[in-house]
């Protein structure tokens, strides 16, 4: 007799709470989803590499792509871009050329250009490059010369800073890869110059040997060698 009210109460609780509790959670989720966007967001990043040469801007990939994808967040277009990150610099010493690579900043960029300064000279501005470009060639470099190269990004609000342009800040002591927009660039002497240097050293050595031989055979005879002088006595 005591079991029946208990069972009834249990049933009542199950039927009153159960059906009410179950739809609550999905309805909450639906309401949240409605506020942001209707289809569920796929968490697929766009095929965008900020270091890839001729990379189409991510927002264009997003617009053109068949499926939605995610782009990295960018700084405000009302601010000048952050500095790009200089990457590998390949020097072709024989041709006096260097290929400079960089990675885009997380900022809207309209164009890039390079700044090249030799030693402590004033930086020279290269031609403007469109926002897809991540690689540029420097020509007319002197063999044995050392340069500082910086990448500048610009948009409607201004241009990125080059903290390392004067040889400070963005550069590490060894001139290795750095995380800033600038890097040091050393063009090794041409092989021909090395050959000249080798010939020079060889000539100097030959001259030294000749002098030694000359001293040995001529001068020693004239002034006498201490050992021979002693033997004559
Ligand atoms: C950007 O410049 C590169 C190299 O000069 C060129 O191949 C490319 O077509 C240009 N892209 C646009 C959108 O102008």
pLDDT tens-digit profile of 159-196? 999 974 444 444 444 444 457 999 999 998 876 666 77
Residue identifier of the C-alpha nearest atom 14 of ligand 1 = 130
* Ligand 1 centroid, distance to 52 Cα (angstroms): 13
The response to whether residue 130 sits with its C-beta less than 6 Å from ligand 1 reads yes
Give the residue, out of 61, 100, 104, 133, with the most ligand 1 atoms within 8 A of its beta carbon, to mutate for a pocket test.
133
Whether pTM exceeds 0.75: no
Q: Give the model confidence (pLDDT) of 31-46 as tens digits.
A: 444 455 555 665 789 9
For the cut 80, the answer to whether the pLDDT of residue 225 exceeds it is no
Q: Which atom of ligand 1 is nearest to the CA of 130?
A: 1
* Structure confidence at residue 223 (pLDDT): 65
Q: Which atom of ligand 1 is nearest to the CA of 131?
A: 1
Q: HSE of 48 in the Cβ direction (CA atoms, 13 Å)?
A: 23
* Structure confidence at residue 37 (pLDDT): 53
Average pLDDT across the chain, whole number:
78
Going from the C-alpha of 93 to that of each of 97, 148, 190, the distances in angstroms are: 7, 16, 6
For the cut 90, the answer to whether the pLDDT of residue 2 exceeds it is no
Q: Which atom of ligand 1 is nearest to the CA of 129?
A: 2
Which range, 65-74, 177-186, 208-217, has the best average confidence (pLDDT)?
A: 65-74
Give the residue, out of 53, 130, 135, 136, with the most ligand 1 atoms within 8 A of its beta carbon, to mutate for a pocket test.
130
Distance between CA atoms of 226 and 232, rounded to whole angstroms? 10
* Structure confidence at residue 133 (pLDDT): 98
The response to whether residue 132 sits with its C-beta less than 6 Å from ligand 1 reads yes
Residues 6+ apart with CB under 8 A from 151: 83, 84, 86, 100, 102, 112, 113, 114, 115, 181, 182
* Structure confidence at residue 220 (pLDDT): 66
Distance between CA atoms of 51 and 54, rounded to whole angstroms? 9
Total residues found in the chain within this entry: 233
* Structure confidence at residue 67 (pLDDT): 85
The response to whether residue 133 sits with its C-beta less than 6 Å from ligand 1 reads yes
Mean pLDDT of 2-29: 42
* Ligand 1 centroid, distance to 133 Cα (angstroms): 7
């Amino acid at each position: 007799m005591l079991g029946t009210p208990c069972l009834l109460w249990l049933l009542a609780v199950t039927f009153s709470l159960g059906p009410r509790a179950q739809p609550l959670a999905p309805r909450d989720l639906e309401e949240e989803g409605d506020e942001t966007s209707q289809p569920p967001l796929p968490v697929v990043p766009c095929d965008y590499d900020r270091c890839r040469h001729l990379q189409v801007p991510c927002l264009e990939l997003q617009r053109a792509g068949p499926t939605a994808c995610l782009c990295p967040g960018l700084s405000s277009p009302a601010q000048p871009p952050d500095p790009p990150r200089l990457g590998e610099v390949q020097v072709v010493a024989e041709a006096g050329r260097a290929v400079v690579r960089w990675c885009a900043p997380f900022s809207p960029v309209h164009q890039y250009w390079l700044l090249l300064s030799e030693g402590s000279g004033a930086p020279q501005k290269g031609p403007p490059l469109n926002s897809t470009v991540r690689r540029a060639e420097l020509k007319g470099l002197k063999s044995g010369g050392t340069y500082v190269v910086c990448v500048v990004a610009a948009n409607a609000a201004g241009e990125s800073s080059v903290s390392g342009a004067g040889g400070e800040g963005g550069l590490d002591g060894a001139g290795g890869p750095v995380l800033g927009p600038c890097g040091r660039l050393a063009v090794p002497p041409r092989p021909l110059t090395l050959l000249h240097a080798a010939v020079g050293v060889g000539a100097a050595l030959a001259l030294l040997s000749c002098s030694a031989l000359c001293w040995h055979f001529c001068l020693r005879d004239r002034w006498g060698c201490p050992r021979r002088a002693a033997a004559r006595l």
